[in-house]
Copies of this chain bind each other. A is one copy, B any other.
């Protein structure tokens, strides 16, 4: 089973996102097939068992419990973790998203400290309970929790033994602060869940000490501070993502004074103009924050008649619980708050003022369309997939190589390529026709002194680097001067082309599958709100399709096997183009295989040599080449790759067979003359990947500024 798939399965087994490299590393060991899930064995009455169970709940770790006599321990495959401290730390470190081990590095040191303290001092029975309680009371005086602003392992280690002692009647007098804290702990979901609610059902209100907004940042999004560090011109801006995309929907910020900046999605007046409801968006998430501006707020009067859809403003107010549906909190701007209008909008001119524009209309205002929900979501997913691409290859030891865009290699024909020139402008300036020599333009006058074109693929260039540096990839713009008006073609698009030395066609399939899964999984983790939008508005069933892509290994079969299947299915399928060996498969055939036969992505390989490029490695059978295509349901071909022909004599023969000139490929041939190595690679159109991940059907809507015949605006 492939490494990344296992990773994904393990991710599920653990119930969340994997924690950084370290876990991935051992999960890749785990992928060898030993490790199914975490089990805690122990006595369910044992206070140590309870502590670990509560900690696991709090951390979101799926821990199977198995009643067993003896000291509690965690089993993970062949491994055993024992000792309460080690078990608590283990579950606290399993997942990345949790803050149960503290929200910052120093908090985690404090948690360590309190863990040690509690495990030492609160042993059953404690040596000196009175002193212990005094320490706790003093420490908790100004605090909601033992460490930081959230329920952590430190609370687990201190509260569970104390509750245990309380139940045994051994605790008599608790200080006010300790009592408040203990109630807060008892009301915490993980504790309630494990211990049941035998604690008094009074609602313990956590004290959130009021503090300047800058001093603490405890949304789970926040790997960066709550306040944008690069926004001094509107000092104190908080990205809306940090509020609404926090795990608790922003509830942790209730009571805080916060300013947000953004563009107005909708405005509504209420209470005869005394109240103004604004939905504000800053592009950091698809969600809008609701801002309720009261007439006593500073700046309220400046809004009159200017604040329509598209207006930009800053709102300073207090985060309060929202009575409305669909949001946990809203921003309330009252007399201590303020609104500042950056730029108004005249509603009658603003092209996006109405709802429900067609995608086609949006393309005509490509400079404003990122303000629409659709294109905003696409932009975020596109950025995430680019990030995932770099992250996947970097973490697998690939070097990013910038292959050239302009190319005057002798072997490039002019078919479907854009020519790059400075001659036309020169000629127009002088008012003269283009200089010609022997029926051709006189390229000695051109910038590159020969015809130059925009690249159609970085592959040959990146192969050079592969045959020096072993593992490389290119990710850059690519061009086709194809006069195509379909929803699947662009004149300018982005391609990802990895190239691996010492790798054959099967390695190529492995990395292609792992890469695709990594990208989809990355978007599922980082862009769930965007994907939910697509599920809702673009493709019902999208999430399921993506989960399905991640769930199993892709099917793999040879072209020849595929042809056999398709011929057998032909009567039922009723293909428009009849199937026979040697043909180039059409989209109908490819999608039939992925959607009907296998119901998941399919990798076809070993294609007839006559329908594939000269550089693909000739197989032993002399009639197929080591080429592979990845076909996905609903999309069709997403990836095409091959093992490259590394044998100079075979390469030369193939070049000649194809009617090309070996000497035009002198430098490509050099790689086979000097230290040739087996190597493989593939290409993936980045926009295809975005369409696959979002369900958006027209390629013009997944790139910021689409270029196609007659269109190169903005």
In whole angstroms, how far apart are the Cα atoms of A686 and B390 in the complex? 17
A232/B396 in contact, CB under 8 A: no
A-B pairs with lowest CB-CB distance, top 8: A283-B469, A233-B504, A343-B676, A408-B712, A370-B468, A312-B675, A26-B104, A86-B113
Given contact pairs A228-B502, A233-B506, A263-B675, enumerate 11 new A-B contacts (beta carbons under 8 Å). Answer: A3-B229, A79-B106, A283-B469, A284-B470, A342-B646, A343-B676, A345-B673, A431-B439, A433-B433, A447-B710, A476-B477
Supposing A112-B90, A379-B469 touch, asked if A504 and B232 sit within 8 A by C-beta, the answer is yes
B217/A469 in contact, CB under 8 A: no
In whole angstroms, how far apart are the Cα atoms of A511 and B713 in the complex? 30
A345/B675 in contact, CB under 8 A: yes
A233/B502 in contact, CB under 8 A: yes
In whole angstroms, how far apart are the Cα atoms of A346 and B345 in the complex? 72
A491/B225 in contact, CB under 8 A: no
B431/A433 in contact, CB under 8 A: no
In whole angstroms, how far apart are the Cα atoms of A503 and B346 in the complex? 24
In whole angstroms, how far apart are the Cα atoms of A450 and B21 in the complex? 51
Does A361 reach chain B (CB closer than 8 Å)?
A: no
In whole angstroms, how far apart are the Cα atoms of A676 and B311 in the complex? 8
Supposing A224-B396, A349-B673 touch, asked if A712 and B22 sit within 8 A by C-beta, the answer is no
B678/A342 in contact, CB under 8 A: yes
Min C-beta distance of A391 to chain B, whole Å: 8
* A residues 463-499 in Cβ contact with B at 8 Å: 464-465, 468-471, 476-477, 479, 481, 483, 491-492, 494
Q: Identify which of A76, A310, A712 gathers the most chain B CB atoms within 10 Å of its CB.
A: A712
Q: Identify which of A23, A76, A105, A667 gathers the most chain B CB atoms within 10 Å of its CB.
A: A105
Does A28 reach chain B (CB closer than 8 Å)?
A: yes
Min C-beta distance of A431 to chain B, whole Å: 6
In whole angstroms, how far apart are the Cα atoms of A107 and B19 in the complex? 14
A22: contacting residue among B108, B433, B674, CB under 8 A? B108
Does A434 reach chain B (CB closer than 8 Å)?
A: yes
Does A209 reach chain B (CB closer than 8 Å)?
A: no
A94-118 to B contact mask, C-beta < 8 Å, 1/0: 0000000011111111101101110
Does A440 reach chain B (CB closer than 8 Å)?
A: yes
Does A400 reach chain B (CB closer than 8 Å)?
A: yes
Q: How many copies does the complex hold?
A: 2
* A residues 430-460 in Cβ contact with B at 8 Å: 431, 433-434, 436, 439-441, 447-450, 452, 454
A233: contacting residue among B93, B310, B503, CB under 8 A? B503
B283/A470 in contact, CB under 8 A: yes
A422: contacting residue among B19, B387, B418, B468, CB under 8 A? B418
In whole angstroms, how far apart are the Cα atoms of A420 and B425 in the complex? 11
Does A507 reach chain B (CB closer than 8 Å)?
A: yes
Min C-beta distance of A454 to chain B, whole Å: 7
B448/A712 in contact, CB under 8 A: yes
Give every chain B residue within 8 A of A380 (Cβ-Cβ). 399, 469
A376/B469 in contact, CB under 8 A: yes
Q: Can you pick out 20 interface pairs between chain A and chain B where the beta carbons lie within 8 Å of each other? A: A29-B104, A83-B113, A89-B109, A230-B471, A261-B501, A283-B469, A310-B675, A311-B674, A312-B675, A312-B676, A349-B674, A382-B402, A383-B394, A390-B390, A403-B705, A419-B421, A419-B422, A424-B424, A434-B434, A464-B714
* A residues 209-236 in Cβ contact with B at 8 Å: 217, 222-225, 228-234
Give every chain B residue within 8 A of A3 (Cβ-Cβ). 229
A402/B703 in contact, CB under 8 A: yes
A667-710 to B contact mask, C-beta < 8 Å, 1/0: 11011111111101000000000000000000000011101011
Does A405 reach chain B (CB closer than 8 Å)?
A: yes
Does A264 reach chain B (CB closer than 8 Å)?
A: yes
In whole angstroms, how far apart are the Cα atoms of A103 and B510 in the complex? 26
Does A363 reach chain B (CB closer than 8 Å)?
A: no
B501/A714 in contact, CB under 8 A: no
